[in-house]
Amino acid sequence: MSEKRLGARSMVFAHAPSVAGTGTVAGKKEGEGPLGGTVDYLNEDTTFGETTWEKSESRMQTEALSRAAVKAGLGVEALELIFAGDLLNQCIGTTFGLRDCERPFFGLYGACSTMAEGLTLCAMAIDGGFAGRAAALVSSHFCSAERQYRMPLEYGGQRTPTAQWTVTGAAAMILSETGPGPYLTHAAVGRIVDAGIKDPANMGAAMAPAAHDTLSGFFADTGMGPADFDLIVTGDLGTLGADLLRDLFARDGVDLGPRYTDCGLLIYDREKQDVHAGGSGCACGALVLCGHILDGLRHGAWNRVLFCGTGALLSPVSSAQGESIPSICHLAAFSR
Amino acid sequence: MSEKRLGARSMVFAHAPSVAGTGTVAGKKEGEGPLGGTVDYLNEDTTFGETTWEKSESRMQTEALSRAAVKAGLGVEALELIFAGDLLNQCIGTTFGLRDCERPFFGLYGACSTMAEGLTLCAMAIDGGFAGRAAALVSSHFCSAERQYRMPLEYGGQRTPTAQWTVTGAAAMILSETGPGPYLTHAAVGRIVDAGIKDPANMGAAMAPAAHDTLSGFFADTGMGPADFDLIVTGDLGTLGADLLRDLFARDGVDLGPRYTDCGLLIYDREKQDVHAGGSGCACGALVLCGHILDGLRHGAWNRVLFCGTGALLSPVSSAQGESIPSICHLAAFSR
């Protein structure tokens, strides 16, 4: 086996791809949150000028990708591969968003882990010699997600305290075989973990065991530990899931410490914004990564960051059939 | 750029992965078709012992993967990466089917192109040095697809002549860095093509332009042409889409000739089985590839085969919103 593979699920990139550019778009609520200033384009009415929420989501993908290309000093036509996905049935946020770009495209479904999944595949493609530049792109929209997964907005349903708020936004990251960094140095591919949680309004609890599985596997595969990183973030465990992840590591005798947080806790002000357990959705982790975290890496706030995309692989049908929630976590490690 | 990349969208694998094993399962109707004898496991009532069609589909995935592993002389635990997907909302055929296998997993959504997409990613992972053995796995089920995309079976809706019949089945292929072949030698990554077709009961017409785009791009990238292959198959264009693809090439002055056919025309006997324009679904092309085509490659019926997975990237919501059908085609080339 190659020296690029470490242990059961981890990879080290011999020629670590460099972040060439990121593009981020989001809605009004995200703009009012603590990280609103890191978003490239905020749309006040969250329609993005479209007539349905699904078309708004597609528009966000188009906008995020084109902004990432501009910031990378490229045209979208310079992208050799695009890896993208979203939460909508048949991933129509993505397929309509990329309909006109004429680039080679791999469609992904990893629920809210899709950004980390796509970045891992971009890095494999570049380090493997199959592309010089590749992009990972995801989106989620509160209104399309509510309609599909829960209730039409007009119903005005109550939310339980464990529920999270689906982030309205899209984020793209372009990786390149050469560049000044930050670099994507390692990845770990998730396994499906199902701890038996059946409440779709408590996805943090369902996903925390998957995050624990991937992170602890990555540490075992690489011989590294939490202290080797300045920042460890999960994508969208929310307050309950993040506490559970700390507890799961504490049972192993590992203290994640203050270096650990969750993007669902960073993107909104839970004191002032009515988001219950925090943010969620493909765009939650992706927006925080492509804005706040990359800014911090570039400016020296952190030198090494673990980004752990967490995804709940359920559907309304599986929940209606009494099933529990299979979950997954993909990990991408960045260095300055 | 690396010598592994050819032109705008094609790849040549320096160390072409070898097919280590395939596993196929299908339902009664597929068993009664001309290729029924090539399927490893046929289930007479298509429930596969489960209480819902969605759980039946997951069961098919589990069965196909474990049979492929047995035929490869491996346990499922020897698979370093699994790339898999299906047509169900949030890909629950896959996520529940793989829930217990504890293997690193990348979820895909490529509609009926998913097998070719997964095989391309397997080959990139192996040739890139990230895995020694990887599997691609897909499923579709007539009953879960009808319920989700069209009408509940109990409604007994009429079907138009252009409609295709969703294949009930699952297929897995394991690729390995070494082995006696057949080998996956080249791939071409699809772009989204939308020719403006809006009728979801005529997906062959929607997908044929995507197949033409990828095949003609592959020929341009590699300098090869139809005559360099003994067999060129599309995944599920059906009779109308296959005729359209021939026409599109004829306009280019290229005669695909008798070497071209479509898996949707091979899997059922259109004279005796009531399938209208032919078979469709993720399992359509995947079952034909993993059974009939690989058998022919192994026994010398063909030396070089182009497998072109075709996918319609619509959803019931996008059609209800008046949208046309974006489509894609991913290509994988096999040699004895």
Q: Six-digit token pair at A144?
A: 């399309």
For tokens 């084109």, the residue is: A66
* Amino acid making up residue B136: A
Taking contacts as CB-CB distances below 8 angstroms, the residues of chain A near B326 are 95-96, 99
Q: Could B130 and A109 be called an inter-chain contact, meaning their C-beta atoms sit closer than 8 Å? A: no
Residue of B nearest to A54 (CA): B318
The number of C-alpha atoms within 13 Å of B127 and in the hemisphere containing its C-beta is 28
Q: Give the residue-averaged pLDDT of A300-324.
A: 98
Determine how β-strand B10-12 pairs with β-strand B183-188: antiparallel
Taking contacts as CB-CB distances below 8 angstroms, the residues of chain A near B89 are 89-90, 315-317
Measured in whole angstroms, the distance separating CA A325 from the mean position of its chain's CA atoms is 18
Q: Could B316 and A89 be called an inter-chain contact, meaning their C-beta atoms sit closer than 8 Å? A: yes
The number of C-alpha atoms within 13 Å of A21 and in the hemisphere containing its C-beta is 19
Cβ-contact B120, B330 below 8 angstroms: yes
Cα–Cα distances in Å, from B284 out to A59, A101, A119, B172, B308?
A: 32, 28, 30, 12, 12
Taking contacts as CB-CB distances below 8 angstroms, the residues of chain A near B111 are 90, 107
* Mean of the per-residue pLDDT values of chain B: 97
Cβ-contact A138, A15 below 8 angstroms: no
Sign of the Cα pseudo-torsion (B122, B123, B128, B134, in order): positive
Q: Could A80 and B55 be called an inter-chain contact, meaning their C-beta atoms sit closer than 8 Å? A: no
Among candidate residues A193, A27, A49, the one with its CA nearest the CA of residue A113: A193
Reported ipTM? 0.98
Q: Which of A5, A104, A127 lies closest to B191 in CB terms?
A: A104
CATH architecture of A5-176: 3-Layer(aba) Sandwich (3.40)
Q: Give the residue-averaged pLDDT of B172-192.
A: 98
What pLDDT, on a 0 to 100 scale, did the predictor assign at position A1? 47
Taking contacts as CB-CB distances below 8 angstroms, the residues of chain B near A131 are 5
Q: Collapsing DSSP states into helix, strand and coil, what is residue A270?
A: coil
Q: Which of A96, A101, A328 lies closest to B105 in CB terms?
A: A328
Q: Torsions phi, psi of B166, nearest 5?
A: -70, 125
What pLDDT, on a 0 to 100 scale, did the predictor assign at position A134? 98
Q: Which of B2, B11, B56, B130 to mutate to test the interface with A (most CBs of A within 10 A)?
A: B130
Q: Which of A102, A106, A131 lies closest to B117 in CB terms?
A: A106
Cβ-contact A166, A30 below 8 angstroms: no
Q: Which of B8, B125, B315 lies closest to A89 in CB terms?
A: B315
Q: How far is it, in rounded angstroms, from Cα B35 to Cα B297?
A: 15
- Shortest distance between the Cα of B270 and any Cα of chain A, in A, equals 29
What pLDDT, on a 0 to 100 scale, did the predictor assign at position B117? 98
Residue of B nearest to A90 (CA): B315
Q: Collapsing DSSP states into helix, strand and coil, what is residue B90?
A: helix
Q: Give the residue-averaged pLDDT of A152-174.
A: 93
Taking only the tens place, the pLDDT of each residue in A294-308 is 999 999 999 999 999
> CA-CA-CA-CA torsion for A272, A278, A283, A288, nearest 10 degrees?
70
What pLDDT, on a 0 to 100 scale, did the predictor assign at position B156? 85
- Whether B1 has a pLDDT exceeding 60, the answer reads no
Q: How far is it, in rounded angstroms, from Cα A151 to Cα A159?
A: 11
Produce one character per residue of B211-225: b if its CB has 16 or more CB atoms within 10 Å, e if not. bbbbbbbbbebbebe
Among candidate residues B66, B154, B195, B170, the one with its CA nearest the CA of residue B118: B170
DSSP string, A54-103: HHHHHHHHHHHHHHHHHHTT--GGG-SEEEEE-SSGGGHHHHHHTTTT--
- Shortest distance between the Cα of B77 and any Cα of chain A, in A, equals 10
For residue B182, whether the previous peptide bond is cis, meaning omega lies within 30 degrees of 0, is: yes
Measured in whole angstroms, the distance separating CA B289 from the mean position of its chain's CA atoms is 8
Taking only the tens place, the pLDDT of each residue in B12-26 is 999 999 999 999 999
Angle, to 10 degrees, between the axis of helix B114-127 and the axis of helix A114-127?
50
- Shortest distance between the Cα of B37 and any Cα of chain A, in A, equals 32
Cα–Cα distances in Å, from B159 out to A36, A157, B88, B276?
A: 50, 38, 21, 8
Instruction: For residue B247, give every residue at least 6 positions away whose Cβ sits within 8 Å of its Cβ, in sequence order, or none.
Output: none
* Amino acid making up residue B322: G
Q: Give the residue-averaged pLDDT of B208-227.
A: 98
Q: Which of B92, B95, B102, B329 to mutate to test the interface with A (most CBs of A within 10 A)?
A: B95
- Shortest distance between the Cα of B58 and any Cα of chain A, in A, equals 11
Sign of the Cα pseudo-torsion (A220, B78, A311, A289, in order): positive
Taking only the tens place, the pLDDT of each residue in A239-293 is 999 999 999 999 999 999 999 999 999 999 999 999 999 999 999 999 999 999 9
Among candidate residues A48, A71, A77, A79, the one with its CA nearest the CA of residue A61: A48
Strand positions, DSSP E, B128-268: 133-140, 165-166, 169-176, 183-188, 231-234, 260-262
Q: How far is it, in rounded angstroms, from Cα A188 to Cα A6?
A: 9
Q: Could B192 and A106 be called an inter-chain contact, meaning their C-beta atoms sit closer than 8 Å? A: no
Taking only the tens place, the pLDDT of each residue in A16-69 is 999 999 999 999 999 999 999 999 999 999 999 999 999 999 999 999 999 999
Taking contacts as CB-CB distances below 8 angstroms, the residues of chain B near A190 are 104-105
CATH of domain B183-335: 3.40.47.40
Among candidate residues B76, B101, B82, B85, the one with its CA nearest the CA of residue A193: B101
Taking contacts as CB-CB distances below 8 angstroms, the residues of chain A near B4 are 128-130
Q: Which of B2, B83, B89, B90 to mutate to test the interface with A (most CBs of A within 10 A)?
A: B90
Q: Establish, for the pair of chains A and B, how many residue pairs have beta carbons separated by less than 8 Å.
A: 178
Q: Could A125 and B128 be called an inter-chain contact, meaning their C-beta atoms sit closer than 8 Å? A: yes
Q: Which of B117, B124, B190 lies closest to A128 in CB terms?
A: B124
Produce one character per residue of A239-254: b if its CB has 16 or more CB atoms within 10 Å, e if not. bbbbebbbebbeeeeb
Taking contacts as CB-CB distances below 8 angstroms, the residues of chain B near A192 are 95, 98-99, 101-102, 105
CB atoms within 10 A of CB B322: 9
Report if pTM > 0.80.
yes
Q: Which of B80, B98, B192 lies closest to A98 in CB terms?
A: B192
Among candidate residues B40, B82, B35, the one with its CA nearest the CA of residue B285: B35
Taking only the tens place, the pLDDT of each residue in B77-124 is 999 999 999 999 999 999 999 999 999 999 999 999 999 999 999 999
- Whether A179 has a pLDDT exceeding 90, the answer reads yes
Q: Could A124 and B127 be called an inter-chain contact, meaning their C-beta atoms sit closer than 8 Å? A: no
* Mean of the per-residue pLDDT values of chain A: 97
Q: Give the residue-averaged pLDDT of B152-165.
A: 90
Q: Could B104 and A328 be called an inter-chain contact, meaning their C-beta atoms sit closer than 8 Å? A: no
**Pairwise pLDDT comparison (B152 vs A79), residue with the higher score:** A79
Q: Which of A131, A191, A315 lies closest to B103 in CB terms?
A: A191
Taking only the tens place, the pLDDT of each residue in B198-212 is 999 999 999 999 999
Q: Six-digit token pair at B15?
A: 């160390």
Residue of B nearest to A217 (CA): B104
**In chain B, where the domains are located:** 5-176, 183-335
The domains spanning B5-176 and B183-335 adopt the same CATH topology? yes
Residue of B nearest to A89 (CA): B89
